[in-house]
Chain A
Amino acid sequence: MHNLLPGVEGFMYPNEMELQWSVLIVLYPFITGLVAGAFILASLERVFNLEAIRPTYRLALLTALAFLIVAPLPLQLHLGHPERSIEMFLTPHKTSAMAMFGFVYLWYLLAVLVIEIWLEYRPYIVARAQSAAGWSRWFYRAATLGSYNLSPRALRIDDRIGRLITVVGIPSAFLLHGYVGFIFGSIKANPWWSTPLMPIVFLFSAIVSGIAAVLLIYFVYCLARGIPLDMPCLDAMGKFLFYAFLVDFGLEMLDLVHRNYEADESLKTLSFMVETRLFGSQIVLQIIVGTLAPLLLLGLTQLLSLTEAARKGLYATAGALTLIGIFAMRWNVVIGGQLFSKSFLGYTTYKMEFATREGLLPALVLIVLPFLILWALVRIFPPMLEYDPGRKPEANPALPAEPEA
């Protein structure tokens, strides 16, 4: 055969030699997944009044915001003409799944997340606007948006609106990430992507990754601040993670069984790819290290009665492995979907560059960036209820008297 490029095996259509979507596009579903997952976790507390996970409520919201801010960046960096991306808002093409990204994103950012966070922190913002000095006073004053009313009636209204937004927010979070799955799942040209299960698999893996990320961030935050970890909270998160992961794993297995049983023309090509080029990232990282291992660890915490220290260790390890597994899953979807020829007659390789626009370096920066933003956010909006005036005024004697009432 005439293989002009190293790493190419068999026959690729000539235009297929170059991979179109790079590691940056791997980050995109990974990051939006964390956003959706963290938000859904927060919503559980809010809508179903799950007291156990309350300590992570605000942290989850702030995590969602930090990652949401970064979510469009990998897309922008990847475009051939980022300066034209505004056209997606001005002249969106109605039949394009991708054209809706901007709208779904803005809706989620502005109509859901920012309002919910603002309502949640309003008492705190008002208190700080009155007590802080210097620049931060100005900042918090602006953040009050002119509303200093903290009367029980006003707070009740806040609470009701917050609840409403959460109720709207859950389907929005589903939309945000299910939609990302649809971008891939609706490409009939690509059998690795094309399945109606894709949005659902994306959604559940998003929930899984969101819970794992908030769990780890909660760990780190408490350790850094010297705050004792709340064991009932960790146990509840561990349980959610376990069951969400079971559903996610079940869905992925359903996809696998279905593909193998249906055995359409792409099956041989795809399974060969999984056995060779994707073996490390799919079988080893995604399934063994990133799914079976954390499921086993979490299963142990559900079945055995372990000491607190052991449970903490297991939760943290399982959370970290989970994130590796979900990242590997995104990788396998995005990169895996481009390693085989649409002629089903050959394979290519992805060679990641380093310090180029779509290389490893910008990818690393984009992974670190949300954590920097989160670090800033938790300084402005303290995430632990017991350390500041929470949204239940009667529980906070420190809350200032109502100014205007």
Chain B
Amino acid sequence: MSVDRRQFLADATKFLLLTGAAGQAWAFVAEGRPQDAPDYDIARHWWAMFIDIEKCIGCGRCVEACKIENDVPDEPFYFRTWVERYYIPARDVTSPRAEDHPKVDSPDGGRHGFPDIYPKEDGSKSFFVPKLCNHCAHSPCVQVCPVGATFESPDGVVLVDKDYCIGCRYCVQACPYGCRFIDPRTNTVDKCSLCYHRITKGLTTACCEVCPTGARQLGDLRNPADPIHELLRTHKVQVLKPNMATGSKVYYNGLDASVR
């Protein structure tokens, strides 16, 4: 690839900052007055995320940031985003298809990083997979909600109206990725909102903001100037469980076949 990716990103980001609604909004955000940002035009965005597994170091800062930013219940088993570690033992004659038996863990959602428990340099491989709601374009959770409390907004974000949710949990069953949970404080469903309160003000999500390696990047598929287009063009990407045909909009670079 002849493109200098870093340079491209820098240019594209500048371009992004100087044009479009997000750019205008950013000026206000930078001044500390995000509430004064010009009206967000919902029809001009369609949000997605790019996750680079090659870059994720499993530090768990995204998980922590999400918990704080979105007031996610503190207990271990409620996550809007979490990180999984995959460990695929070395192939040997007894298990030639080692990827069928990955060892996976996600202690407290990977929030505090991962204990170093696996041997290295022995033919095994290990990597981290950050997960969140895929903001599916053909989302099964939206399809099954009996009252329409879960819906897809025109800018491609799957959201939950907590004042409307009856707490039937049908959507939790219907999500193939385990992205939803019932908030014990409200008895309604909760999940990643793609930091809707931030992205409509021209900010990126909390998880993308804190990621030290840039492994997670928010992208706007309706903005031709968004760097995500170049990322998707220059990488071989895959979505989780493509056989589910959910129209997932979280694209992974370097997704291994063992990842479920």
Contact = CB atoms under 8 A, between A and B. Distances in A.
Interface in B85-116: 102-109, 115
Contact of B143 (A78, A95, A337): A95
A86 to B, nearest CB: 9
A351 to B, nearest CB: 14
B180 interface: yes
B173 interface: yes
Interface in B237-259: 244
Nearest to A95: B143
B172 interface: yes
B178 A87 contact: no
A236 B169 CA distance: 42
Interface residues of A, number: 44
Given A18-B77, A87-B166, A98-B168, A93 B146 contact: yes
Given A20-B173, A190-B173, A342-B176, A87 B167 contact: no
Contact of B78 (A15, A80, A99): A15
A93 B152 CA distance: 13
Contact of B178 (A98, A99, A188, A342): A342
A85 B77 contact: no
A342 to B, nearest CB: 6
B232 interface: no
Contact of A14 (B106, B143, B186): B106
Nearest to A85: B166
Contacts of B106: 2, 11, 13-14
Choose among B78, B82, B166 the residue with the greatest number of A CB atoms under 10 Å from its CB.
B166
A135 B78 CA distance: 56
A338 B174 CA distance: 12
Contact of A18 (B108, B147, B164, B182): B182
B181 interface: yes
Contact of B166 (A14, A18, A84, A345): A84
Contacts of A303: none
A400 to B, nearest CB: 49
B169 A81 contact: no
Contacts of B148: 91, 93, 96
A93 B177 contact: no
Contacts of B169: 20-21, 80
Contacts of B78: 14-15
Contacts of A87: 147, 164, 166
Interface in A37-84: 75, 78-82, 84
A187 interface: yes
B147 A99 contact: yes
Contacts of A84: 147, 164-166
Choose among B142, B146, B148, B165 the residue with the greatest number of A CB atoms under 10 Å from its CB.
B146
B221 interface: no
B67 to A, nearest CB: 12
Interface in B171-228: 172-182, 186-188
A377 to B, nearest CB: 30
A295 to B, nearest CB: 32
A79 B144 contact: no
Contacts of A101: 146
Nearest to A11: B104
B109 A14 contact: yes
B76 A14 contact: yes
B188 A343 contact: no
A268 to B, nearest CB: 9
Contacts of B107: 2, 4
Contact of B173 (A21, A75, A85): A21
A344 interface: yes
A1 interface: yes
B170 A15 contact: no
Given A93-B148, A187-B173, A345-B102, A18 B181 contact: yes
Nearest to B102: A345
B163 to A, nearest CB: 9
A189 B174 contact: yes
A209 to B, nearest CB: 24
A192 B166 CA distance: 25
A96 B146 contact: yes
A79 B167 contact: yes
Contacts of A187: 140, 144, 173-174
B79 interface: yes
A11 B164 CA distance: 33
Given A84-B147, A343-B260, A1 B176 contact: no
4 tightest CB-CB pairs across the interface, nearest first? A80-B167, A13-B178, A80-B187, A189-B176
7 contacts: A15-B180, A20-B182, A80-B165, A84-B164, A85-B166, A91-B148, A98-B146
